[in-house]
A and B are shown apart, each in its own frame.
Chain A
């Protein structure tokens, strides 16, 4: 098919020029279809980014286990007993669950924490953790380093602080190598990190080696929480691991394996899968709406092309009398249809992407409502979607033009030339 044929295009432009309003209105419906599709997809992406960022401060393939309270009497034990996970559990989980990649425990500092640097005081959370705990959280290291196993073994009194802590205690001073006091014990700051999520309630967290915590605060091997990351496991596998954790700990702590309240198991894989599924559903809903909007636009083009053919019946008859083949007539109508849909669709695409870009660049949502902005980050449509949409447009343009074009090709010159 000879596409770059100046005569064909000249004729297409001529008809378009002759019917500006009609062409613009037709194109408008297609442009709106694509525009809406882009805006909707972009918004859903923004919402997804926002929710992901807000709610997932933990690694998406992790699981945490902490003790809770039994609700069933078991083997002479009363119900309502407090369960606390401990060092023994930490070791047995690490050994018995082979899918575990990294495992870390967290203890606590009894009583109130008083944390200070020179004359500055603040109320923060100090957490004695294993070095591997960094695998369980989402963070960015800003300065210095995270904790390592050497710190644990050598009982180093070091601390890794969150950027919020740095801000309120150090006031612009470089914290690395400086000493902060936690309940009157000095800890050397070795690193500053930034937490990935937006946790508004948290004033700042400080991590110290778990061994140091045990020594200083005499927690007797009790742990607040044991967390671990799993390799690439399926949702089903992660549920089985939950069950295994439950039965292992039921045995060691002597509670009913069916008693789900004895432990608090937080399965991030489950949450992530839920999340992915929810957004998958939202996204397919959006495609559904978008595609139907598009179909309306295409029907518009189809309709107009039928009218175009009807209006040009006589002209087509003349062309045929002069030697136009059916093929050349089909090409004429088809290319016009594709041209209108492709150009207007492209306009809609550019406008949609432009609006998303503006919203992103100037933080328009944040200016309108900061609450909403928290859940709406970086609304964008990836180029793949945009290109798919354009290809869909050209195809739909061809479909919309095909039936009218066939109709045109079937016009008999005799019928067309009758002088009425």
Chain B
């Protein structure tokens, strides 16, 4: 399928991109890595009048860590973040999720900001952002605005970004000591969108869980945080029984969509299994990290 006719703008500064967005509003689509938008154009599921290509905005690429906050520029390519030791050390959950995105050639072009602005509820990065309470910095001619992850994801492929705004960076809290993470998913083929995915971060302090974060992909039109399970876990010591109960709590209120890859009931069972596996894997890593830090 050939792409439909579209006007094309390639700004070289964020200010210029913001000006173009103000002019074209929702007639424009922002082209980042293009790994989701170009298929949407090919399939005529997106029909923007104008493409605003932000690949020339070098100022939007890069990772920095300061004062407990890790900032990732929206145009940072997924493979760059995947290979970044800074990301691995400061936001290990993001590092765990990145290799699961599509395939190598997809991650060559795909960007952190593009995936999060596209907001596919089956994708990995929205679940990571939701689990870690990431902050989204958007810019318009009116200035910058910071949107918490809990408010960013509004629905299927829908975010709190207004038509005249561009996502410029995403901020994550840097992981504390004793934190173990896991990104678990069940997919037909590695690299496919998962049937269900789960982002888990656990922090162990003196053998007890001091912080627990779980977010699902693929169970609703937005990534879903398992708050009831998190409440259950905090203050307790890791055990298979506890994780089993967390799986029940985490899936009690979800009503996943059914499609040709699985029924709603099947997804729910997978979700509970992923909670058990994910919590165990995260707890094991947290133990290792604690042991390592003591040495």
Q: Do A and B bind each other?
A: no
Residue positions of B touching A, CB distance < 8 A: none
Residue positions of A touching B, CB distance < 8 A: none
